[in-house]
Structure 1
Amino acid sequence: MYFYIHIPFCESKCHYCSFTSLKKKDYEEAYFNALIKDIKFQISQFNLSKNSIKTLFIGGGTPSVVETKYYEKLFQVLTPFLKEKTEISCEANPNSSNFNWLKAMKELGINRLSFGVQSFNETKLKFLGRIHSQQAIFKSLENAQKAGFNNVNLDLIYDTKLDTKKMLEYELLHLEKIKPLIKHLSAYHLSIEENTAFAKRFHYKKNASNLMRFFIKGIENLGFKQYEISNFSKNKPCLHNLAYWQGQNYLAAGLSGVGFYENQRFYTHKSLQAYIKEPCFRNIEKLNLEDLNLERLFLGLRSVVGVKEKDLSSAQKVRANLLLKAKKLQFERGRYFNKNFLLSDELALFISS
């Protein structure tokens, strides 16, 4: 089983962010008490056995704004259910993850860090609403290394209105400097979402495919292999993320959590007060075979997972084979694979139309 835990608290709201995030306002105690009830409920509800959790991902929000004493309580509940070599990831921000916090989290069992860096350029950081500096990025990476972390990911954002070839070369230059300290990179092109500070400001996104290709090529030249539209790794992918793209079952605890189990999606409350009051509540969405196959089509073409030929209808196979003839897809071992992830959604729409 794969398990996601959402920590909704942040120091501030970034301009592009559509995830559920709130200022702490002394809600940690009540929230983590609710979270523990939620986790225990799911362990019981889904009959989890000892050593059955393959990956654990603590995301947000900003998990690093919460004191480690709260995580200690979570791990008291979770540890018996974690496999011996479980991939345990936790997100953090450079300005809120000091050495003591990182060391304590490492001692709890966290073995993979994901830093929300977004950019090395100070002007671009301010544009995105980030409150850390370039110096804080390097300091956090140094602290992570001292704390014993050897599996670190960085998040970056590109395709903003500020991104030019010169700007992206600047990002790549700084990536090269810290390359020995990281094993994984997530590079997201800016998405303009509703209910964010960037909502309806579509000119903030550049939509420059030539610059996207340039940046992706630059990342690959640094030794990171692209295995999904936004993810790159030196050696192996993030197992937790890969589980999503493979359509595996996963559980989710916390505010606005979304789990998936045996063709059903499970949603928790979206209001903090409602979640604290009813942490075990789930709104259940049943997915039919058509929904599932369409989802696997989109996810498979966005990643190295690919799409099984047997999951496609006769008409979809005809369209997939047209793309094969046009050399837009490859076919190996009973699966269609997409080698240009920037075209993934267009290819999926064509096949499913």
Structure 2
Amino acid sequence: MEKTLLYLHIPFCDSKCHYCSFNSYVDRFELKERYMRAVTGQLRSDLETFGIEKGSLASLFIGGGTPSTVEPHLYEPFFEALGGYLCEGAEITSEANPNSATKGWLEGMKGLGVNRISFGVQSLFDDKLRLLGRAHRAAEARRAVEEASHIGFDHLSIDLIYATILDTPQRIEEELERALRLPVDHLSAYELTIEEGTLFQKSPEVRVESLEQAHTLRNRLEERGWEGYEVSNFGRSKCRHNLGYWEYRPYLGIGSGAVGRIGNLRYAPHRQPERYIDDPLFKEEEPLTPQQIREEKILLGLRSCVGISSADLTPPMRERAELLVREGRLTASGGRCYNPDYLLSDEIALFIIG
């Protein structure tokens, strides 16, 4: 029985960060109850439409937006619809913002079965949080993470952003020290990017060149025993849901702004919450060609510990991969090739794809 991933998108946010281009809204809270009924309806339909077997969902990831802006009781029908479909020991993650992840919210989500929280901390310096347009401060972030640990979440993750105008190698090291004092076993470090339609598009000078900072982050974390198992992810434990994406497992995408892929069919519901609520079963479909699937496996595998299988490569691709192995740019083991330098993953992937 093939294991499938499940992603639920929550489009509501209490504020729009200056760098954010995600499908999120700060002025649609009156839609929450109707939206949660709609995602439950889509879930029930997709489980049947795609023939998902009981016990075959390996993970659930609730992302956004800000899932902690939705009260736990509104998630209850969604979790009830999942009854029997999650496999034993499934990883169930919810993202959360420190300012909205109250003790009551954390306890409520744990009661539903959530066993992993990913906090959108982004920085542990107040001046950087203000620059990024975050709604919380460093003390709130520490409080939220420690509260989640006290409540009994064994797996906690935080996100950090680097490559801002306020970052220096010294501040990066200090921020990591502050982060590693928290009761977390996973950390995601993302380079600031300037996206179209964001507030930062008007002030791109807030971003600085980041290669030195990326190496500092990776080196310091790995020196402390944190495995860098993907270009942006480090941990004493891995996020099994993320690993599933990089292994090219099938996944259901539930909610406005979500994307799913089952077999060679990629699909997306309506992005606008209002349109989604009116027609939660709509899907814009994209059949994937064998070449597209091959290329996606290469791009995902080389940016992570998953690597790529020789069986997935065409003969010309295999020749180029073998050349990189001979040059020491890739390593080979058990019919797979692995990339030892994730920061070069795109260049290596494009060379192999040709």
TM over 0.5: yes
How many angstroms apart in 2 are the aligned matches of 1:81 and 1:34? 19
Residue from 7, 10, 29 that aligns with 2:10: 7
How many angstroms apart in 2 are the aligned matches of 1:53 and 1:61? 23
Tell me the TM-score normalized by structure 1. Answer: 0.96
Residue deviations 1:177-225 (CA, integer Å, cap 9, x gap): 21xx111111111122212112264433322312210111112222210
Residue from 174, 177, 191 that aligns with 1:173: 177
Q: Do residues 252 (structure 1) and 256 (structure 2) align?
A: no
Change (3 A) 1:224 1:275: same
- Equivalent residue, structure 2, for 1:325: 326
- Equivalent residue, structure 2, for 1:152: 156
- Equivalent residue, structure 2, for 1:91: 95
Conserved 8 A contact 1:161-1:205: yes
Runs of 4+ in 1 over 6 A off after TM superposition: none
Within 5 Å, give how 1:110-189 maps onto structure 2: 110-178=114-182, 181-189=183-191
Conserved 8 A contact 2:50-2:262: no
How many angstroms apart in 2 are the aligned matches of 1:3 and 1:243? 10
Residue deviations 1:317-336 (CA, integer Å, cap 9, x gap): 23223322321111111111
How many angstroms apart in 2 are the aligned matches of 1:212 and 1:53? 34
The answer for unaligned runs of 5 or more in structure 2 is none
How many angstroms apart in 2 are the aligned matches of 1:198 and 1:237? 31
- Equivalent residue, structure 2, for 1:285: 286
The answer for unaligned runs of 5 or more in structure 1 is none
Within 5 Å, give how 1:1-353 maps onto structure 2: 1-23=4-26, 24-178=28-182, 181-199=183-201, 201-234=203-236, 236-353=237-354
Residue deviations 1:107-164 (CA, integer Å, cap 9, x gap): 1100011000011011111111111111001110121012111110111111222211
How many angstroms apart in 2 are the aligned matches of 1:200 and 1:329? 40
How many angstroms apart in 2 are the aligned matches of 1:342 and 1:59? 25
**What residue identity is the alignment partner of 2:69?**
V
How many angstroms apart in 1 are the aligned matches of 2:320 and 2:162? 32
How many angstroms apart in 1 are the aligned matches of 2:166 and 2:190? 15
Residue range with higher mean Cα deviation, 7-16 or 198-207: 198-207
Tell me the TM-score normalized by structure 2. Answer: 0.96
How many angstroms apart in 2 are the aligned matches of 1:349 and 1:207? 22
**What residue identity is the alignment partner of 2:289?**
N
1:315 CA displacement: 2.2
Residue range with higher mean Cα deviation, 119-128 or 24-33: 24-33
How many angstroms apart in 2 are the aligned matches of 1:316 and 1:163? 39
Residue range with higher mean Cα deviation, 324-333 or 309-318: 309-318
Conserved 8 A contact 1:103-1:148: no
* Percent of residue pairs identical: 42
How many angstroms apart in 1 are the aligned matches of 2:9 and 2:228? 26
Conserved 8 A contact 1:2-1:251: yes
1:346 CA displacement: 1.0
SS of residue in 2 equivalent to 1:11: coil
Conserved 8 A contact 1:2-1:53: yes
Query: For this pair of structures, how many residues does the alignment match?
Result: 350
Tell me the C-alpha RMSD between the 2 structures: 1.3
**What residue identity is the alignment partner of 1:37?**
G
